[in-house]
Amino acid sequence: MQTPLGWSIWGPAGEEGLRRAFHTLGALNRDETAVPTASEDRLFSAFYGRIALQLDILCAWADRIPGTSGDAMARQIFTFVPPDYVSRPQRRYYPRVAVRAGVPWVRGPKAIRASRTRMQGVWSDAVARVDGLDEAGARALLITGADEFRQVIYHHTVLTLGAVQPVYDLLAKICAGTDLTPQDLAGGHGGHEETAMVRDLWACSRGRLPVERFVADYGYHGPREGDISITTWRENPTPVHKLVEAYAAQPESENPEAVEAAQQRRRHELEAKLLAATSAARKPLARTALKLAGTYLPLRGVGKVAFLQGVDVTRMAARRLGELAVADGRLLDREDIFFFTLDELRTGWPAHAMELVAERRAAYEKYRTLDLPEFWVGEPEPAPAPEATAGTITGIGASPGVVEGRALVLEDPAGADIEDGDILIARHTDPAWASLMFLSGGLVSDIGGLMSHTAVVARELGIPCVVNTRTAMHTLRTGDRIRVDGNAGTVELLGRTS
């Protein structure tokens, strides 16, 4: 769910970022980078407080890129292809795309690291001075955060579409005809932002790093951290203290550095196995693919951290603006600020602000009670939750391994009471979940593909994972005993909790 302010920041950033990225890749003409006036021609729209992507438009753009198709991209990233969509290669774009194909590979890593460094500075500076800002300063910081966020989304999208996804596609090609999968080779590279956070949390649990220092470094995280209106660790560090306690109870053998080293050894063994099973003619391609995977796959997390910091800059600026409005009697609660749009806050206050907030808050609360289908054509119809059924749930195996344990069904990772070896069941995850995932024995998510955040972090932590189950959140209950097979992509209910 997004508030009006959240939508007004995410919507334009996503629309502009994807259009600019496809133009950079050569798949869009310059005039197609302009955001259309008609909502039906845009990539992103809001329905019942949810941000939705018009997948058929994105598929049509992917058909302009040689070596892939709209159908393939939709299956790999979204695990769904519009039912009446037929890929039609647009070969007239191929020469231009070929000319620009090297841009993401050459410039992408430097651009995303520069964005990360710049956003770190913007975020740290904002944390240090936000409490002293007047109204003009808070507005300026809000706009700065939104502008920086749009730039990060653009660089992140170019790198993901132009390098990260092609690397994964290449891994799939070199695995064809062997008993290995790209999931086997996509983990164990190290250098991921989320695993660095887990290492620092472990250091806190061993007294080597003050919790205050950890919060100062990672305070932009929090439950559902893509939602601008949530409370972050920076604002409430209680979840961090609970995690430190849970980590402290772990034996030293579970040290994340040792886990990461074991994953890297496993990857080297699997790479050697792949090369041994590869013909001499294909070995150069295989070695190239493995080298590219180590370079580019970890960069996906770099962009995610940068845009989460951008969201947090807008969050703290908005709350400061809300505090000042409450002090002046223009709002009743500082949280009311999230029910205005960015355009409404740029220069002043909308007319009848309190009435507007009351109307929009009522709609927001109503929308929270609704459940929408994952995919739809035309206007969505709120749907009841799927019927709970026993037996085997099928999804996509995203991280190999088989594990049995207690299911822990979570809407929100904040304050979760996790027991050692619990298997996390979630609708989807974001970087704030990584610290909890480290304590788990396995992971299941209703939404996500092989390159989703859930899958990537599970592979780095070496825990079995199944994604895209669609119904696990509704079918399973905390306490159920289940078996997760990350190879076959299945979740088997072994016994119900009493």
% of the chain surpassing 90 pLDDT: 61
Percent of the chain clearing pLDDT 70 (strictly above): 98
pLDDT above 60: residue 384 = no
Contacts of 363 (CB under 8 A, 6+ apart): 49
Q: Are 436 and 363 in contact (CB under 8 A)?
A: no
How far is 99 from 40, CA to CA, in rounded Å?
A: 31
Arithmetic mean of pLDDT over the chain: 90
What pLDDT was estimated at residue 415? 63
Local confidence band at 314 (pLDDT 50, 70, 90 cut-offs): very high
Pairing relation of β-strands 402-409 and 392-394? Answer: unpaired
- Report the distance separating Cα 393 and Cα 491, nearest Å: 5
Query: Which domains are delineated in the chain?
Result: 1-166+298-369 (no CATH), 167-297 (no CATH), 392-495 (3.50.30.10)
Confidence of residue 104 (pLDDT cuts 50, 70, 90): very high
The stretch 80-94 carries a mean pLDDT of 87
Distance from C-alpha of 439 to C-alpha of 410, rounded to nearest angstrom? 14
pLDDT for 295: 92
pLDDT number for residue 348 = 85
Query: Does pLDDT of 385 surpass 60?
Result: no
Q: What is the CA radius of gyration of the chain?
A: 23
Among 249-263, 341-355, 384-398, the least confident range: 384-398
Report how far residue 200's alpha carbon sits from residue 189's, in angstroms, rounded to the nearest whole number.
Answer: 18
Per the model's pLDDT, the better-predicted residue between 16 and 348 turns out to be 16
For residues 490 and 442, the answer to whether their CB atoms sit within 8 Å is: no
- Compute the residue count for the chain: 498
pLDDT (0 to 100) of residue 390: 58
The predicted structure's pLDDT at residue 389: 56
Span 127-133, mean pLDDT?
Answer: 97
CA angle 144, 24, 194 (to 5 degrees): 60
The predicted pLDDT at position 83 comes to: 79
Residues 420-473 have pLDDT tens digits of 789 999 988 877 788 888 889 999 999 888 878 788 888 888 899 999 888 898
How do residues 154-195 score in pLDDT, each as one tens digit? 999 999 889 988 898 899 899 988 999 888 888 888 778 888
Instruction: Check whether 126 has a pLDDT greater than 80.
Output: yes
Query: Does 87 or 382 have the greater pLDDT score?
Result: 87
Identify the band that residue 383 occupies on the pLDDT scale cut at 50, 70 and 90: low
At 216 the pLDDT is: 96
Q: From CA 309, how far away is CA 296, in angstroms rounded?
A: 21
Least confident span in 44-58, 77-91, 136-150: 77-91
| 329 DSSP 8-state letter | T
- CA atoms within a 13 Å half-sphere pointing along the CA-CB vector of 473: 16
What are the tokens at 495? 């016994």
Tell me the pTM.
0.86
Structure tokens at 109: 């890593």
Count CB atoms within 10 A of the CB of residue 349: 16
